[in-house]
């Protein structure tokens, strides 16, 4: 995890992990810590954690099932395999930017597992229901949660 820095709109925290489902829990933990600096309630934080898990699953299939475990899958009979190999797994990057009015989360991946179209569609629907704004682009998903209700 990199140190936090001042971005153009607020505090920025970056995290890079192997693109494997079991490592998504680290992003959820970082998000929980960042949310302590916001006025978001428990339900909003839970929604954001779900959105991050779903966004990560768009890059690494199975994140939903293994997001709460860092343990690697049980090895098949034979020699033990390393927990993660960035050369084959790729890297999953999370950037959390806490601004005055919102919390923006960018998730990027180079590599990772294959995800079915059905799983991707389900992830998009869940994300749409749990954040205020989102954008999907090749290799990046951006989530935004507003910290205060808009005036009006």
Cβ 141 vs Cβ 55: under 8 Å: yes
Q: Is residue 10 part of a domain?
A: yes
Question: Domains in the chain: how many in total?
Answer: 1
Residue 36 to residue 34: CA distance in whole angstroms: 5
Closest CA to 143 of 96, 84, 74, 76: 96
pLDDT at residue number 88: 63
Q: Is residue 80 part of a domain?
A: no
pLDDT at residue number 67: 45
Cβ 109 vs Cβ 92: under 8 Å: yes
pLDDT by residue for the chain (152 residues), tens only, comes to 444 556 555 799 999 999 888 899 999 999 999 999 999 999 999 999 999 999 998 888 654 444 444 444 544 555 545 555 555 668 999 999 999 999 999 999 886 666 788 888 888 899 999 999 999 887 899 999 999 765 55
The region, left, alpha or beta by phi > 0 then psi within -120 to 50, assigned to residue 62 is left
* Count of C-beta atoms within a 10 Å radius of residue 4: 14
Domain range for 48: 5-72+88-146
Q: Is residue 151 part of a domain?
A: no
Q: Is residue 9 part of a domain?
A: yes
Give the CATH number for residue 35: 3.30.565.10
DSSP secondary structure letter of residue 100: S
List alpha helices for the chain, DSSP H.
24-35, 42-57, 63-66, 86-89, 117-130
Q: Is residue 93 part of a domain?
A: yes
Starting at the earlier edge strand, list the strands of the sheet with 102-110.
Answer: 5-6, 10-18, 91-99, 102-110, 140-146, 133-137
Residue 67 to residue 113: CA distance in whole angstroms: 15
Run of H or E residues at 68: none
Residue 105 to residue 48: CA distance in whole angstroms: 9
């Amino acid at each position: 995890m990199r140190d936090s820095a001042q971005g153009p709109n607020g505090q920025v925290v970056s995290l890079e992990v192997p693109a494997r489902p079991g490592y998504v829990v680290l992003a959820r933990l970082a998000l929980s810590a960042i949310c302590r600096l916001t006025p978001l309630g428990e339900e909003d934080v839970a929604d954001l954690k779900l959105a991050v898990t779903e966004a990560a699953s768009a890059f690494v299939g199975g994140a939903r099932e293994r997001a709460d475990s860092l343990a690697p899958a049980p090895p098949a009979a034979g020699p033990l395999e390393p927990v993660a190999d960035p050369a084959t797994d790729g890297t999953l990057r999370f950037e959390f930017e806490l601004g005055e009015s919102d919390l923006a989360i960018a998730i990027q991946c180079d590599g990772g597992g294959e995800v079915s179209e059905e799983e991707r569609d389900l992830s998009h629907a869940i994300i749409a229901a749990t954040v205020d704004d989102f954008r999907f682009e090749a290799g990046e998903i951006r989530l935004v949660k507003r910290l205060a209700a808009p005036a009006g």
